[in-house]
Amino acid sequence: MIYDFIVKGRKDTEVKVSDYKGKVIIVVNTATGCGFTPQYEALEELYKKYHTKGLEILDFPCNQFGHQAPGDDEEIHEFCTAKYKTTFDQLKKIDVNGENSDPFWKYIKENSQEEYIHGMKNKLAMKGIEKMSTTCKNEKDIKWNFTKFLIDREGNIVGRYSPIESSLVMEDKIKEII
């Protein structure tokens, strides 16, 4: 179960996923130097709109895709708060694919359905992005930065969203489960 995991906080603290039991959670792998980095704006918009109703964001910086998350955890946090005014916290930078993949990410990848990708143009773009990824070896692997997972209050993964999709595409589902 998703609540069985402990992940690392930005300051090397232990963060129990069970502390988020009863919350709606967006889990996302991020990067500060990616073409998708402006998605922080939509994530923050959702967080501000629904946090008081029970939405949390678990933001995991990841440097596996084009080395687009340079810097240490504090530098990444400072960048996000200064440029995108994020108020949700980032966790420790991790690997989401490969032999050093974080166990939490292994679990959510294996227990999620196919990614939501809207429209043929986006599907073709994702095929190109997938070819650029040197760490995407298996069907369920993360293809690029800003892959998003939506988890309901019971810990069920109810959506996997492509990096090419804005976080706002999740809003209707969030309203439904919040």
Each residue's pLDDT tens digit, 113-137 = 877 778 888 788 878 877 788 887 8
The set of residues, in sequence order, having a beta carbon less than 8 Å from that of 13 and lying 6+ positions away, is none
pLDDT grade, residue 11 (50/70/90)? very high
Has 34 been annotated as catalytic?
Answer: yes
6-8 and 24-30 as β-strands: parallel, antiparallel, unpaired? unpaired
Cβ–Cβ < 8 Å for 135, 141? yes
Q: Which of 34, 62, 80, 136 is catalytic?
A: 34
- Report all structural domains of the chain as residue ranges with CATH numbers, in order of start: 36-118+129-148+159-178 (3.40.30.10)
Each residue's pLDDT tens digit, 58-89 = 999 999 998 889 889 999 999 999 999 999 98
- Burial pattern 25-52, b for ≥16 Cβ within 10 A else e, equals bbbbbbbbebebbebbbbbbebbeebee
pTM over 0.85: yes
